[in-house]
Amino acid sequence: MGARLIDGKAQAAIVRAKVKVAAGELAARLGRPPCLAVVLVGADPASEVYVRNKVKLTKAVGMTSIERRLPETIDQATLDATLTDLNENEEVDGILLQMPIPAHLDTDRALSLIDPAKDVDGLTPISAGALVLGRAGLVPCTPQGAMILIQSVLGPDLSGRTAIVLGRSILVGKPLSLLLQSANATVTMAHSRSPDLPALCRSADILCAAVGRPELVRGDWIKPGAVVIDVGINRVIEEGRPRLIGDVAFGEAESVADAVTPVPGGVGPMTIACLLRNTVLAAARQAGEAIPHDL
């Protein structure tokens, strides 16, 4: 009841349509389509699904993709060599190392080897630093997708609005806080140790939940008329069936918020659309070409 639904599937389709035009323009100038390389270590079933989906959507927007599948048991040197090989491959514009990688491998080391120019996940120290410093760089996909959803409701300028981000992960919470601040919102970075989370949340015009705790955010945590962005994707079993639920109690949020993202169909589809967008941006920048179209 009440709140508008923020349609992540529809917004992702808009982003992909723009990416498709841009990829076409760029392909004509480069003499080949932009190319995304996906590195998958091991055979985690959830990762397999994501990677298959990414490859399918990459082709659908007129780009190419290559996959490097490595066995669960590889050593760090093999992973490192795979990444540096892709760095040097001039046919590859973007590199994505699918997370998580097996525990015996060093994630930080692997990420820091990726050429920042090809870092379509925005997770290398150089990309993270560029975001902090407000310089041009590749922005992590999930927070970028969340921003597009927020701005689809509130417009590009968030001046005068307060925002709270629950969660301080490198992947989502930290970069999303910085992006909100760049768009002129006044941002609170909250987390599990923050005092009185419900009251903090209730003061925010924009509430972003990225903590990975199913339905942590209740209706009475939400300021009436707020925009609620649910970044959580929690797999739960309900009545014997697997189901995806967010970090926000959706039914309760609906009767308080002005607009709210569903799970699934909210931020998730935006993540992949923004990955494709980053691949085009990376291809253009490396070739010294202008960013095609209005991306």
Ligand X SMILES: Nc1nc(=O)c2c([nH]1)NC[C@@H]1CN(c3ccc(C(=O)N[C@@H](CCC(=O)O)C(=O)O)cc3)C=[N+]21
Applying CB under 6 A, the span of 24-32, 70-78, 95-103, 146-154 interacting with ligand X comes to 95-103
**Preceding omega of 100 cis (within 30 degrees of 0):** yes
102 contributes a contact to ligand X by CB under 6 A = no
User: Site for ligand X (CB under 6 A): how many residues?
Assistant: 16
- CB atoms inside a 10 Å sphere around CB 83: 23
Site string for ligand X, 210-249 (x = CB under 6 A): -----------------------x----------x-----
To the query of whether residue 121 is one of the catalytic residues in this protein, the response is yes
Instruction: Please tell me the distance from the alpha carbon of residue 208 to that of residue 144, in angstroms, as a whole number.
Output: 13
DSSP-derived secondary structure for 74-111: --HHHHHHHHHHHHH-TT--EEEEPSPPPTTS-HHHHH
State the binding string over 37-76 for ligand X (x if CB under 6 A, else -).
-------------x--------------------------
By CB under 6 A, tell whether 264 contacts ligand X: yes
Q: Is 14 annotated as a binding residue?
A: no
Examine residue 131 and tell whether it contacts ligand X (CB under 6 A). no
Instruction: Decide: is 261 part of the binding site for ligand X (CB under 6 A).
Output: no
Q: Which residue is nearest to ligand X (CB)?
A: 268
Which of these segments, 102-110, 124-132, 216-224, 262-270, binds ligand X (CB under 6 A)?
Answer: 262-270
Q: Does residue 20 carry a catalytic annotation? A: no
Q: Which of 115, 121, 230, 247 binds ligand X (CB under 6 A)?
A: 121
Enumerate residues 6+ apart whose C-beta is below 8 A from 2: 254, 255, 256, 257
Rounded to whole angstroms, the Cα distance separating 242 from 227 reads 28
Q: Rg of the chain over CA atoms, in angstroms?
A: 19
Residue 225 assigned to a binding site: no
Q: CA–CA separation, 256 vs 278, rounded Å?
A: 35
Shortest reach from residue 184's CB to ligand X, in Å: 27
Quote the DSSP letter at residue 217: B
53 φ, ψ (degrees, to nearest 5):
-60, -45
Consult the annotation and say whether 134 binds a ligand. no
In eight-state DSSP terms, residue 136 is S
CA distance 108 to 104: 12
Q: Which of 18, 54, 118, 223 is catalytic?
A: 54
Q: Which among 93, 115, 119, 121 is annotated as catalytic?
A: 121
Q: Which of 11, 18, 98, 247 is catalytic?
A: 98
Active site members: 54, 98, 121
Q: Which residues of the chain form contacts with ligand X (CB under 6 A)?
A: 50, 96-99, 121, 141, 233, 244, 263-265, 268-269, 271-272
